[in-house]
Structure 1
Amino acid sequence: MMKKIAIIFRHAPHGSAKGREGLDFALLSATFEQEISLIFADEGVLNLVPQQTPEAIGAKDFLAAFKALPLYDIECVYACHQSLADYQLEESALAIPLEVKTPAEIAELLTQADEVFVY
């Protein structure tokens, strides 16, 4: 039976391995034919900023792997409207296509998930 898994990215992409671990978990879960939703909120929206250079601080660039989401049939990708506004990010300037949702809409998405993981 296919499970609905929501993965929330709440942390900035560099400085910890949380973002990379969340992405790895999403891709791995998708290979087992689970229905995956990705939600970027709080500092997690910083994962969506294009043309980052993490090598400059000795970190690996895993953000390009987000472009592979369609290859894994991960099509439900959302960002929190309020978080984007907090960081003055425009949807049109983000690295990957996604849907912007209000906090209330995100809360509703989470009620539909069988499991929720936060990274």
Structure 2
Amino acid sequence: MKKITIIFRHAPHGSAKGREGLDFALLSASFEQEVSLIFVDEGVLNLLPLQTPEVIGAKDFLAAFKALPLYDIECVYACRQSLADYQLDELALAFPLEIKTPAEIGELLTQADEVFVY
């Protein structure tokens, strides 16, 4: 079983990167790969609840993040520094995850067999 880490670095709307990353995560997990997700930089904006992407003509794919446990994706992390940069409160995020420092995220990346950035 491969350890796949997917990094979300971009804002959720305005490009298809977030949706593609989520689709890839769910697909990989369905093939029994060990999948971890890490939200950094603008990617932490994927964690905000109550977004209304339909206002700009985009689809709301963020609700699908709540399906992660159904795919046995349990290793989900956010960068503490990125959350602070965007003044986001850990308790106000759309779903529970672990907060890691940049150094801890670096350590997680060394444990992955494959790393994909979206």
Q: Same fold (TM over 0.5)?
A: yes
1:29 and 2:33 aligned: no
2:62 & 2:90 partners in 1: Cα distance?
A: 17
Matching residue's letter, 1:11: H
Matching residue's letter, 2:67: A
1:110 & 1:46 partners in 2: Cα distance?
A: 21
- The alpha carbon displacement at 1:37 in A equals 0.3
> Aligned ranges for residues 69-108 of structure 1 at < 5 Å?
69-108=68-107
1:5 & 1:113 partners in 2: Cα distance?
A: 6
Q: Which runs of 5+ in 2 are unaligned?
A: none
The total of aligned residue pairs comes to: 118
> Aligned ranges for residues 1-119 of structure 1 at < 5 Å?
2-119=1-118
1:73 & 1:97 partners in 2: Cα distance?
A: 14
- The alpha carbon displacement at 1:79 in A equals 0.1
2:96 & 2:5 partners in 1: Cα distance?
A: 17
TM-score, structure 1 as length reference: 0.99
- The alpha carbon displacement at 1:70 in A equals 0.2
TM-score, structure 2 as length reference: 1.00
- The alpha carbon displacement at 1:15 in A equals 0.3
- The alpha carbon displacement at 1:12 in A equals 0.1
Q: Which runs of 5+ in 1 are unaligned?
A: none
- The alpha carbon displacement at 1:93 in A equals 0.3
- The alpha carbon displacement at 1:80 in A equals 0.1
2:72 & 2:95 partners in 1: Cα distance?
A: 14
2:95 & 2:115 partners in 1: Cα distance?
A: 22
Matching residue's letter, 2:59: K
